[in-house]
Amino acid sequence: MLQTFKNAWKIEDLRKKIIFTMVVLLVFRLGCAIPVPFIRPSAISSMIAADSGNMLNYLNMISGGAFANATLFALGVTPYINSSIIITLLTVAIPYLENLSKEGEEGRKKIAKITRYIAVVIALILSLGYYFVLKRNNALIYTEGMTGFFAAAVIITTFVAGSMLIMWMGEQIDKKGIGNGISLIIFTGIISRLVPSATTLIAMVQVGLSGETKYLIMAPLILIFAVLVIAFAVVLNNAERRIPIQYAKRVVGRKMMGGQATHLPIKVNMSGVMPVIFASSIMSIPGTIKSFFNIESEIANKILGIFDYNGIVYVVGYILLIIAFNYFYVSMQYNPVEIANNLRKNNGVIPGFRPGKMTQDFIAKVLSRLTFIGAIFLVVVAVLPIITGNITGTNIQLGGTSILIVVGVALEVAQQLESQMVMRHHKGFLE
């Protein structure tokens, strides 16, 4: 492995890309430490620490702790991600966007431009919401008069500007660096939270050695959980079903074309971690409402309390939403009718299945089975932290999602470096 890294560093073009990516990520981490003026971050930090099941925890995780500290990059990549999701959904529903997606590079540029505009609007809405949360928790230095108005304008503008700067940095990594920019920024944010997690684990062991034996059991359980999730993530991210395809021979001019045998790869986990993030966000809304507002009604509190993080309703709803979002994402990415038509146009057949309806049904059947397996994998990764947390009494609800994102991004970057190395006749990372 060390020799592989040395070989990668020797390639000038690849070295420049790696250095550029590292510099951008360093700037991101510096931005996560720059405080926004007129804010007392200790108030919001304590609120997030007290509530384990609301949406603020997810924002804080993705931003690498910047949200809890109310720094320049507090909103993180959330506005851009939400904007991308909205555009993806609208592409299916609006013919204009669908046509743009089929126009090649120019169409993609126009869609990217629309995505940025929507991201600005979302960032503004989130900044306003965050400002009122800060105000409600007495985290603002100035709230009254013109001074308060000026402080509000500075705070909201800074949050929006920070979010847009992150979006720009992600795009620069895509153009001049290595890997997916937005994914790497999320990756860096999560990795930065490993030190506090390791410190907590060491503290557990120390408490256990001092007499509290239950902590000596809890620490190994958390480590076992982490190892299992990493193993699951690596296996499922690389797992795929290869459908054999045979192309018929045809004569083009004086040359014989086709006749080769290949395969159609279909990944088991095609949707990645997005179904988990979506499901978590939706199921955390009741907890967030309960945390934000002083609800006096006992009935309303009981209804919201049903969706408690450790409750059976939360777990069941969580599982169903993960499975539903997984099927939705796969249906958007893969169209069995389109795949079958492309195979027929290129004289390709799946052995044992006639072109057309039979091929289409077979691909749809395979997709359905693989999607279910992928959904079950995501459910295990998402629910296992809840079970482990209840057993150990620790707050590790984001552990599965975090590890899944980290492993997925790391494998993606490794694969990109692998392709770069192979192109230059070097041994790759994955050999």
Q: Kindly report, residue by residue over 340-352, the tens digit of the pLDDT.
A: 888 888 778 888 8
Tell me: do 257 and 346 sit in the same domain. Answer: yes
Domain stop point among 163, 192, 221: 192
Q: What is the residue-averaged pLDDT of the chain? A: 80
Q: For residue 340, is it within any domain?
A: yes
Question: For residue 304, what pLDDT is reported?
Answer: 65
Tell me: do 179 and 306 sit in the same domain. Answer: no
Q: For residue 203, is it within any domain?
A: no
- The model carries a pTM of 0.81
Domain stop point among 123, 157, 192: 192
Contacts of 115 (CB under 8 A, 6+ apart): 80, 83, 84, 87
How many other C-beta atoms lie within 10 A of the C-beta of residue 99? 11
pLDDT tens per residue, range 297-349: 667 667 666 766 667 887 888 889 889 888 888 887 788 888 888 888 877 88
Tell me: do 181 and 244 sit in the same domain. Answer: no
The SS3 of residue 138 is: coil
Q: Which two tokens stand for residue 308?
A: 């408690």
Instruction: Compute the average pLDDT of residues 253-274.
Output: 74
Tell me: do 144 and 277 sit in the same domain. Answer: no
pLDDT of residue 202 exceeding 90: no
pLDDT tens per residue, range 350-375: 888 888 888 889 999 999 999 999 89
Tell me: do 50 and 117 sit in the same domain. Answer: yes
Q: For residue 213, is it within any domain?
A: no
Tell me: do 8 and 151 sit in the same domain. Answer: yes
Tell me: do 265 and 161 sit in the same domain. Answer: no
Tell me: do 368 and 290 sit in the same domain. Answer: yes
Report the 3 state secondary structure along 154-187.
HHHHHHHHHHHHHHHHHHHHHHHCCCCHHHHHHH
Q: Which residues pair with 251 in a beta bridge?
A: 256
Q: In terms of residue numbers, what domain contains 244? A: 239-397
Total domains present in the chain = 2
pLDDT of residue 400 exceeding 80: no
User: What is the DSSP code (8-state) at residue 76?
Assistant: T
Tell me: do 276 and 373 sit in the same domain. Answer: yes
Tell me: do 280 and 185 sit in the same domain. Answer: no
Identify the CATH number of the domain in which residue 317 sits: 1.10.3370.10
Instruction: Compute the average pLDDT of residues 148-159.
Output: 93
Q: For residue 308, is it within any domain?
A: yes
Which range of 17-26, 201-210, 379-388 scores highest in mean pLDDT? It is 17-26
Residue in this structure with the two tokens 């054999």, named with its chain if needed: 244
Tell me: do 18 and 149 sit in the same domain. Answer: yes
pLDDT tens per residue, range 213-250: 767 777 777 777 778 778 877 887 788 888 888 877 66
Domain stop point among 132, 160, 192: 192
Tell me: do 185 and 244 sit in the same domain. Answer: no
Residue in this structure with the two tokens 């057949």, named with its chain if needed: 349
Q: For residue 420, is it within any domain?
A: no
Q: For residue 228, is it within any domain?
A: no
Q: For residue 410, is it within any domain?
A: no
Q: For residue 360, is it within any domain?
A: yes
